Amino acid sequence: MSSNIKKIGVLTSGGDSPGMNAAIRAVVRACAYHNIECTGIYRGYQGMIEGDFKEMGARSVNNIINKGGTILKSARSKEFMTPEGRKKAHENLVSNNIDALVIIGGNGSFTGGLIFNEEYNFPVIGIPGTIDNDIYGTSHTLGYDTALNTVVEAIDKIRDTASSHNRLFFVEVMGRDAGHIALNAGIGAGAEEILIPEEDMGLDRLLDSLRKSKASGKSSSLVIVAEGDKIGKNVFELKDYVEENMPEYDVRVSILGHMQRGGSPSCFDRVLASRLGVKAVETLLEGKSNYMVGLIKDEVELTPLDMAVKGKSHIDKELIKVSDIVSI
């Protein structure tokens, strides 16, 4: 390989997601495999500024592939948004002989990496790590597949109660401004309706759909609501609205919350993390910078980091149609 890179730093930044540890492991071991050194940087950019570093050999990442969270911890850093903060961070990298960075995180983390690269011409590669799947340039972000399983398992439990009591449940799931989790987990959980920010259903159509569902003989109903959806101001207002207009329904709300971000990664996320971690190191060793490694049509591919940040991941329209059909 054609670069002069002798040591790579790796960090996790932004919200944690299952698979981050598997990615750290892959980066560390790919460095060992290619006979270069690897440094773990704790607490994201904040740890870079504070010099919170640790040398990592192949054995230092034993038995972490199945762990949720991130052993390098994560944090948001206001100081890194200032030139002074980045200067300190750069000095720490230089004095530790770190030649390049692998950044595991989301759009905010990548933006920080782009600015840092521009100022110091420091090689950076991004690995998309977030459960929200809202990053352009990859069909799957790390943690997304795991979060889908966590959500359907939780809703399976709620359905036990819903169908025992003939109730209507509104279940709010994560996803920030994207409806990927809601749409896929909604289909997977057999939801009657799925409310996502990308499609404004409107309150009237929701009522209409619930009435049809009741008329079709369904005794219980699950409506999945993406946290970014704006049909009601929030999920409790939705509940009130439906109870006012359909008094025959006994409505309950469940907000799945932070458990969606944790847990042991699925096999898919562990394999994806391994592939992306290896590719990130090899891309740096080829002398490239400013790319995100991602999965596109089942292949590991590079996307320029600024495109990953600016681009928008789209909802699959076929899935919306499938959802309409299978919830009949």
Q: What SS3 class is residue 171?
A: strand
For residues 81 and 259, which CB has a smaller minimum distance to a second copy in the complex?
259
Give the per-residue contact string, 169-208, with a second copy (x = CB under 8 A; - = no). x--------------xx-xxxx------------------
Known binding residue 270? Answer is no
Give the bridge partners for 296, in sequence order. Answer: 299
User: Does residue number 139 form part of the binding site for a second copy (CB under 8 A)?
Assistant: yes
| Residue 35: CB minimum distance to a second copy, A | 11
Binding region for a second copy (CB under 8 A) out of 116-124, 238-246, 285-293, 315-323: 315-323
Give the per-residue contact string, 229-268, with a second copy (x = CB under 8 A; - = no). -----------------------xxxxxxxxxxxxx-xxx
What stretches of the chain adopt beta strand conformation (E)? 7-12, 37-41, 53-55, 100-105, 124-128, 168-173, 193-195, 221-226, 251-255, 291-296, 299-304
Residues 7, 90, 218, 288: which binds a second copy (CB under 8 A)? 218
Buried b vs exposed e over 170-198: b needs ≥16 C-beta within 10 Å? bbbbbbbebbbbbbbbbbbbebbbbbbbb
| Residue 113: CB minimum distance to a second copy, A | 19
| Residue 18: CB minimum distance to a second copy, A | 8
Closest CA to 243 of 172, 168, 171: 168
Token representation of residue 160:
């036990």
Token representation of residue 30:
């790919």
Residues 77, 274, 283, 303: which binds a second copy (CB under 8 A)? 274
Token representation of residue 112:
């920080």
Which stretches within 73-106 are classed as H helix? 83-95
> CA distances (Å), 153 to each of 4, 172, 195, in order?
47, 14, 19
User: Does residue number 1 form part of the binding site for a second copy (CB under 8 A)?
Assistant: no
| 275-314 positions binding a second copy, by CB under 8 A | 275, 277-278, 297-298, 300
Known binding residue 132? Answer is yes
How far apart CA 220 and CA 165 sit, in angstroms, is: 8
Q: Is 204 considered catalytic here?
A: no
Q: Residue 270: CB partners within 8 Å, gap ≥ 6?
A: 19, 22, 65, 66
| Residue 87: CB minimum distance to a second copy, A | 25
| Residue 118: CB minimum distance to a second copy, A | 28
Strands 291-296 and 124-128 come out as parallel
User: Does residue number 73 form part of the binding site for a second copy (CB under 8 A)?
Assistant: yes
Give the per-residue contact string, 5-24, with a second copy (x = CB under 8 A; - = no). -------x--xx-x------
Which residue in 16, 52, 99, 132 is the catalytic one? 132
- Active site members: 132
